[in-house]
Every structure is written in C-alpha cells, then in structure tokens.
Amino acid sequence: MAKKIALLQGNEACAQGALYAGCNFFGGYPITPSTEVAEVMAGELPKVGGKFIQMEDEIGAMASVIGAALAGSKALTATSGPGASLKQELIGYACIAEVPCVIVNVMRGGPSTGMPTGPGQSDVMQARWGTHGDHAAIALCPSSCQEIFSETVRAFNLAEKYRMPVQVLFDEIVGHMRERIEFPEPGELEVINRAKPSVTPEQYKPYDTSFGNVPPLAAYGSEYRFHVTGLNKAEDGFPTTKASLVDAEERRQIFKVECDEARADVESNEEYLTEDAEVIIFAYGSTSRSARYAVNELRSQGVKAGLFRPITLWPFPEKRVAQLGEQAKGMVVAEMNLGQMVFEVERIVKNTCKLGRVNRVDGEPINPTEIMNQVKEVL
C-alpha cells in the first residue's frame, strides 16, 4: 500500500510525530512561532481520546505536562524563546524528579520579545543550561519537516527511556516551511514506552537504582503509590539532605545520559562528504541546508569541504567533533546566533584546527556565500 503523503509545515509535522509516538496529553500556551503545534494537537488529540489543555501561562503549561506525565501520559508542550525561558524552573523539576516529557521550542530571535516572527538559533545554550543547578540535557535539532516528524518520535522515546525532559529545537524557518512528508506506517519507527515497575506495590521505590540508572516509573492512579518532590531525595522519593545520597543522586542523573552507552544511543549526527574533508562546516537546523549547498559549491571549486550536522545537540557529540578537528585543517561553525555552539566546538577541537564562524541575528537565514567566504578564511 502506498504511504500517506502530505505537504506539511514543520510545526504540523511535529504534532503528527507526537501523535505517532503515542502522545496523549498536550498542555500549552499560545506563542509565535510555535502555535501551530498546539492548534494541530487541539484538533487531533480528542479524536484519539487524548487531552489538550490551553493553560493560563507558560509555567502552568509545563506544570500540567509534568502532572499528566506522572499520571501515566505521554505529554508534550510547545513554545518559543520567551516561553521556554518561563518554563525553565519546571524543566529542572522534570530533571530532578525524573519525569518523562517533551518540550518543543520553535526558536525565534532575540533576548526578550526580540523578533517573534523571525528565525533564530539562540536558544541552544538555554536548552543545555537554562534551568538552574547541575543536570543532564537531551536536545534534538531537526532540519527538515520529515526529520521534525521522526525526531519528535525519537524525543518521546528518549524521554520515556531515560525518564527525563527532552527538548526538540527547531528554528522558525523549519517550523514554518512546508515540505513533503511521508507518514511512516505504524511500527515502522520504534515507539518506546517507559519501563513499568516489576516489584510489588509494597516494594516499589520511585528512584530504586537496583534497576539501573533509570529506575522504573509507576503512574499515579495505578496500584503503586508514591511521593514525588523537587527536593533532593532518597530512593524512596522522600527528601533527604544526607550528603552521600544527594551526591550520588545528582551524579546518577547526569551519568544516565552522559555515560558512553547512553551517548552512543542518544547521539545522532549526519555527515556529508566528511571522509576526505579538509574543512568541516558545523551547522544544525535550517542553517545546515545552506551549509550543504556551500559544500557542493566548494567541492565544485575543488575545495574539500564537508558538513557535520549534529541532530542531537545535547549531549554534545564530543568524540566525533574531536576526530574531525584532528582530520581537518579548519572548521567553520555557522549558526543563527552570535556564537553559542562554536564555544562547544572550540572546547573540543582546542587548537587542532583553525576555527571560523558565521553568525547572524538579523532574522535572515545564513546564506551559502557567507559560509563559503568563511571557509576560505580558515583554509
């Protein structure tokens, strides 16, 4: 049977991906340029018996998502820059309480209100360090409508598997662009649901590490009954200030994502003509599409250029970037901000190659010529 094909906007593809992943709760608040995600969910969720609620503010939206997730739902919220800022405290809550949920941030420009209808990529560091305190982060950054669909599915999978909030970041260009989407058949993409406890209700502890770094999570309203808090807690979920327990808990919550095994599972990159590349363009989101064009142009001019496109921004692909830094003479980081991921690249490649950067924050996309000019600077 022929696959279902549609011409979808990135934001619509995101909502469709969420539904494919089994999302059954959306708590949101209107904000440009992400609102279409909420609009599609408002129409589609009740059709499948799911729940949509437009909350009174961004914080309430994030709170409702965590509450619903603890009651067993696969929960989603979608927002943009200022809304993501407002959600930060509760993203941290979902980190420490280990609540699976997905936060979509359709990135626009500026601090504060900035340029609501213009694209930006300036929330990538916020996605890593926006909430206070030490914590791990998973953030995915698709660059096409089809990939928004599949990465939204993957975001739910990672949230459920690692029991934590996962952010999907895409810039307004991809969010509002319309492209052909091929709907995967049910079962074609993997859909992961959280591990359920296997012990008796009397034995259940919501942070029981004897089951590994990601303890199984029961649902409110099941036969299991448990306590959840944003305080540092012991395995039973109750607050503790005991130094050894607090230390072990915080380290485990980072280790569960940053250990080699998890990194290998979570990291996802696309490489284009990097094998013999002397210069690597590091670009993500819509910027990577200009970068790909630049690589082709440069190759036609005899420049051995390649593209490294992180799809998983966090955890940062340290190993591969280090290898490419040693292989290449130069690297160019192109991003729609005034320099954010470039510092991560710099941290990893150190002085093994020359580093250039292309930055824009004027609401215009980075064009291939700008990237090509910078490539010539580092060669």
Q: Work out whether 47 is an interface residue with other proteins (CB under 8 A).
A: yes
Interaction with other proteins in 291-320: which residues (CB under 8 A)?
A: none
Confirm or reject binding of residue 220 to other proteins (CB under 8 A): yes
- Candidates 290, 296, 292; CA nearest to 360 is 290
Which residues on neighbouring strands pair with residue 358, listed in sequence order?
334
Instruction: Tell me the CA distances in angstroms from 205 to 98, 181, 194, 234, one per residue in order.
Output: 13, 43, 16, 9
- Pick the piece of the chain touching other proteins (CB under 8 A) from 63-71, 166-174, 307-315, 333-341: 63-71
What string marks each residue from 344 to 363 as x (binds other proteins by CB under 8 A) or -? --------------------
User: Is residue 165 a contact residue for other proteins (CB under 8 A)?
Assistant: no
Q: CA 89: distance to chain centroid?
A: 17
Q: How many CB atoms lie within 10 A of CB 102?
A: 32
Q: What is the DSSP letter of 353?
A: S
Joined together, the tokens standing for residue 173 give 């260009």
Report how many residues bind other proteins under the rule CB under 8 A. 44
Residue 72 is a binding residue for other proteins (CB under 8 A)? yes
Fill in the per-residue mask, 13 to 32: x = in contact with other proteins (CB under 8 A), - = not in contact.
-----------xx-x-----
Q: Is 12 or 335 the residue whose CB approaches other proteins more closely? A: 12
Binding mask 233-252 for other proteins (x = CB under 8 A): -----xx-------------
Residue 235 or 258 having the CB closest to other proteins: 235
Closest to 101 measured CA to CA, from 146, 168, 190: 168
∠ CA 157-158-159 to the nearest 5 degrees? 90
Q: How far is CA 267 from the centre of its chain?
A: 11
10 Å Cβ neighbour count for 93?
19
Q: Which is nearer to other proteins, 60 or 142 (CB)?
A: 60
Among 30, 39, 51, 363, binds other proteins (CB under 8 A): 51
Of 134, 188, 223, 326, the one binding other proteins (CB under 8 A) is 223
CA atoms of 166 and 247, how far apart (whole Å): 23
Q: Which stretches of the chain bind other proteins, using CB under 8 A?
A: 24-25, 27, 43, 46-47, 49, 51, 53, 55-57, 59-61, 63-73, 75, 89-90, 93, 220-231, 238-239
